[in-house]
Amino acid sequence: MYVTILSDETTRKPFRTLSSTTARSPEAYLRAGSYLYFEGDSVDWLYQVKTGVLRLTRMLEDGRRQVIAFGYPGDIVGFPSDGLHHTDCEVLVDSHLQPYRRSMLERGDGDPDLHRELLQAALREISAMQDHFMMLGRKSAVEKVASFLCVLTDRVGQEVAGHVQVALPMGRGDIADFLGLTTETVSRTLTQLRKTGVIAIDNIHTVIVLQPTALISLSLGDRG
Amino acid sequence: MYVTILSDETTRKPFRTLSSTTARSPEAYLRAGSYLYFEGDSVDWLYQVKTGVLRLTRMLEDGRRQVIAFGYPGDIVGFPSDGLHHTDCEVLVDSHLQPYRRSMLERGDGDPDLHRELLQAALREISAMQDHFMMLGRKSAVEKVASFLCVLTDRVGQEVAGHVQVALPMGRGDIADFLGLTTETVSRTLTQLRKTGVIAIDNIHTVIVLQPTALISLSLGDRG
DNA sequence: CGGGTTCTTGACTATCTTCAACGAAAGTGG
DNA sequence: CCACTTTCGTTGAAGATAGTCAAGAACCCG
């Protein structure tokens, strides 16, 4: 998932379960802290996240890191390029994954519906990544953090006592590396949003959105 | 094209002409300044650039712009998401384009080889975009500009009098919006590279790489 | 409870942006 | 073909945003 404000309805789609009944392998269950694959591994399977949260990262030689995406329920991860994975994929929250053979994406093997679904997922991925370019290249720290919270609110927000509550299973460093910021800036920006009453921070991993409209405004860069 | 230092060989591939002989439409020739499509247009065709240069952009409501990619010979542009284009595509240099029907990507229609080639192009696109995330999120201005010049050197550099020469058909503002900088910063950074003898600026649209190794070092963030 | 990690906060700094002016290049029309 | 206009690029000075460094607080796990 590319946690960005999208102009289209990509992130608002209800959980999309691929429809095919053939050629899937047994389901996979992974514990938080384990890795699904590493950069350079050859791709044998794609995975649809059923439950849990994944984190896709890429590293530079000097240690700088970019979080490419978080994988939330409904997302498909593991698209190959030249047959290889180009990110590491760590499990942040115990996850239930549905594997699909790579050949199902690339050749279809007797299930055109599934083939088409996987292709469409890849194409939506491209569009979502384009949105994230705008985020990384053109948005301020406040806009980035607000955008991030907005999308998480839409996708995995929980209604609790009249307010929407959002879990942040990833660390501040993960958010920073996703948004192109430092942990300090993410922390300060969250504090700022808390002090202005837009959000409340229940605990480090739980944010409550008190003023959803204000949060959206901030995510879009409205000044007034 | 996502002009970034890639860890794999994506950008070094020789011009890849799709191999099929069926189901392509007549070739298209477009003049600089014309538009191939706009954001929101429905996608009927994909295009492989044969000659010329394209520019794919996306805008925010307040006018901020992100250049998503430049389309150079060999690149395929126009991947749909939910059937629509999500960028504008302007022709920067008179272009010769090979159109392919969208249905060829999505259904294959009697040409499995072409279908597979288009799918692989989409998957390489995803990987290339991941590299560009690193660029936008984690690199300094000098690293960004140096990376940009390095990739252009590899892809379209011309050997002239013992040095590699690179054409920059796009404006400074286009480069800035691609790298997540301002035109002023791009201009200053190019001047800095010129003053340190790494490049020469023959004219506004032509750079000569005098110290290729130094340029690569700068693109990777080496300090020494 | 204790030790290590992660998060927050503060002070300071660096990088990049903004604003402004000037110069060069390119397009237009007589 | 030249003068005029407009756009684009470069440079400078000042300012803002986010980064760096450092210390203390909160959280987590055994």
Contact A161, A18 (CB under 8 A): no
Higher pLDDT, B113 or A14: B113
The string of pLDDT tens digits covering residues A49-71 is 999 999 999 999 999 999 999 99
Residue A18 has pLDDT above 80, yes or no: no
User: Which CATH number characterizes residue A164's domain?
Assistant: 1.10.10.10
Q: Tell whether B11 is covered by a domain.
A: no
Q: What is the mean pLDDT of residues B36-63?
A: 96
One-letter amino acid of B63 = G
Q: Which residue, of B120, B135, B150, is where some domain finishes?
A: B135
Q: What average pLDDT does the structure give for chain A?
A: 90
Q: What is the mean pLDDT of residues B1-11?
A: 44
Q: Tell whether B174 is covered by a domain.
A: yes
Contact B141, B192 (CB under 8 A): no
Residue A154 has pLDDT above 60, yes or no: yes
Q: What is the mean pLDDT of residues A167-187?
A: 98
Q: Tell whether A10 is covered by a domain.
A: no
Chain A, chain B: beta-carbon pairs less than 8 Å apart: 133
- Secondary structure class of B153 (helix, strand, coil): helix
Q: Which residue, of A135, A163, A195, is where some domain finishes?
A: A135
Closest nt by CA–C1' to B185:
C16
pLDDT band at A110 (very low <50, low <70, confident <90, very high): confident
pLDDT at A164: 97
Contact B156, B167 (CB under 8 A): yes
pTM recorded for the entire structure: 0.91
For the CA of B184 and the C1' of C21, the distance in angstroms is 14
Reported in sequence order, the residue ranges of chain A that DSSP labels E, i.e. its strands, are 28-30, 35-37, 45-59, 65-71, 76-77, 88-101, 158-160, 163-167, 199-203, 206-209
pLDDT at B164: 97
Residue A91 has pLDDT above 50, yes or no: yes
pLDDT band at B7 (very low <50, low <70, confident <90, very high): very low
Residue B138 has pLDDT above 50, yes or no: yes
Residue A14 has pLDDT above 60, yes or no: no
B64, closest residue in chain A (CA to CA): A138
Closest nt by CA–C1' to B183:
D9
Partners of A141 on chain B (C-beta within 8 Å) are none
If asked whether residues B122 and B201 sit together in one domain, one would say no
Share of chain A above pLDDT 90, in %: 82
- In this complex, the residue of A10, A119, A180 whose CB is nearest that of residue B106 is A119
Q: Tell whether A84 is covered by a domain.
A: yes
Q: What is the mean pLDDT of residues B155-182?
A: 96
If asked whether residues B39 and B106 sit together in one domain, one would say yes
If asked whether residues A43 and A115 sit together in one domain, one would say yes
pLDDT band at A1 (very low <50, low <70, confident <90, very high): low
Partners of B46 on chain A (C-beta within 8 Å) are none
Number of H helices, E strands in chain B: 6, 10
Which of B133, B143, B177 has the highest number of chain A CBs within 10 A, making it the mutation to test binding with A? B133
pLDDT at B14: 38
pLDDT at A222: 76
Instruction: Fill in the DSSP letter of residue A147.
Output: H
Cβ–Cβ contacts within 10 Å for residue B59, how many?
16
Question: A25 CA to chain B: closest CA distance, Å?
Answer: 22
Residue A23 has pLDDT above 50, yes or no: no
If asked whether residues B169 and B72 sit together in one domain, one would say no
* Full residue range of the structural domain in which residue A192 is found: 139-219
Whether residue A122 and residue B126 make contact (CB cut-off 8 A), yes or no, is yes
The string of pLDDT tens digits covering residues B10-45 is 333 334 454 444 445 567 999 999 999 999 999 999
Q: What is the mean pLDDT of residues A89-110?
A: 93
Sign of CA dihedral A5, A8, A13, A18: negative
User: Which CATH number characterizes residue B45's domain?
Assistant: 2.60.120.10
If asked whether residues A130 and A144 sit together in one domain, one would say no
Q: Tell whether B89 is covered by a domain.
A: yes
At A203, give phi and psi (nearest 5°): -150, 175
Integer Cα distance of A98 and A55 in angstroms: 16
Which of A4, A9, A138, A147 has the highest number of chain B CBs within 10 A, making it the mutation to test binding with B? A138
For the CA of A95 and the C1' of D18, the distance in angstroms is 35
A68, closest residue in chain B (CA to CA): B130
- In this complex, the residue of B106, B107, B138 whose CB is nearest that of residue A180 is B138
- Please give the structure tokens belonging to residue A31: 């514990």
Residue B168 has pLDDT above 90, yes or no: yes
If asked whether residues B127 and B190 sit together in one domain, one would say no
> Which DSSP string corresponds to B22-90?
SSB---EEE-TT-EEE-TTPBP-EEEEEEEEEEEEEEE-TTS-EEEEEEE-TT-EE---BTTB--SEEE
Question: A162 CA to chain B: closest CA distance, Å?
Answer: 31
For the CA of A147 and the C1' of C20, the distance in angstroms is 33
Q: Tell whether A111 is covered by a domain.
A: yes
For the CA of B123 and the C1' of D18, the distance in angstroms is 34
Q: Tell whether A114 is covered by a domain.
A: yes
- Please give the structure tokens belonging to residue A61: 């030689």
The string of pLDDT tens digits covering residues B82-130 is 999 999 999 999 999 999 999 999 988 888 899 999 999 999 999 999 9
**CA A134 to centroid of chain Cα atoms:** 16
pLDDT at A17: 54
Higher pLDDT, A14 or A212: A212
Q: Which residue, of B78, B107, B135, is where some domain finishes?
A: B135
If asked whether residues B73 and B146 sit together in one domain, one would say no
Q: What is the mean pLDDT of residues A141-154?
A: 98
Whether residue B79 and residue A220 make contact (CB cut-off 8 A), yes or no, is no
For the CA of A157 and the C1' of D14, the distance in angstroms is 43
Contact B3, B152 (CB under 8 A): yes
- In this complex, the residue of B81, B125, B133 whose CB is nearest that of residue A136 is B133
The set of residues with CB closer than 7 Å to nucleic strand C is A 171-173, 183-184, 186-188, 190-191, 201, 204; B 140-142, 180-182, 184-185, 188, 203-205
* Poorest-pLDDT segment among A69-78, A103-112, B133-142: A103-112
If asked whether residues A72 and A162 sit together in one domain, one would say no
If asked whether residues A122 and A36 sit together in one domain, one would say yes
Higher pLDDT, A85 or B6: A85
Whether residue A64 and residue B138 make contact (CB cut-off 8 A), yes or no, is yes
Q: How many domains does chain B have?
A: 2
For the CA of A191 and the C1' of D16, the distance in angstroms is 20
Crossing angle of helices B141-156 and B112-138, rounded to 10°: 150
Instruction: Fill in the DSSP letter of residue A209.
Output: E
The string of pLDDT tens digits covering residues A114-134 is 999 999 999 999 999 999 999
Partners of A127 on chain B (C-beta within 8 Å) are 81-82, 86
List bases in chain D with any atom under 7 Å of a protein Cβ.
8-13, 17-22, 26-28
If asked whether residues B90 and B146 sit together in one domain, one would say no
If asked whether residues B85 and B150 sit together in one domain, one would say no
Question: A161 CA to chain B: closest CA distance, Å?
Answer: 34
- In this complex, the residue of A84, A86, A138 whose CB is nearest that of residue B130 is A86
pLDDT at A151: 97
pLDDT at B129: 97
Q: Tell whether B13 is covered by a domain.
A: no
pLDDT at A27: 78
If asked whether residues B203 and B122 sit together in one domain, one would say no
pLDDT at B222: 76
pLDDT at B1: 63
Integer Cα distance of B222 and B57 in angstroms: 31
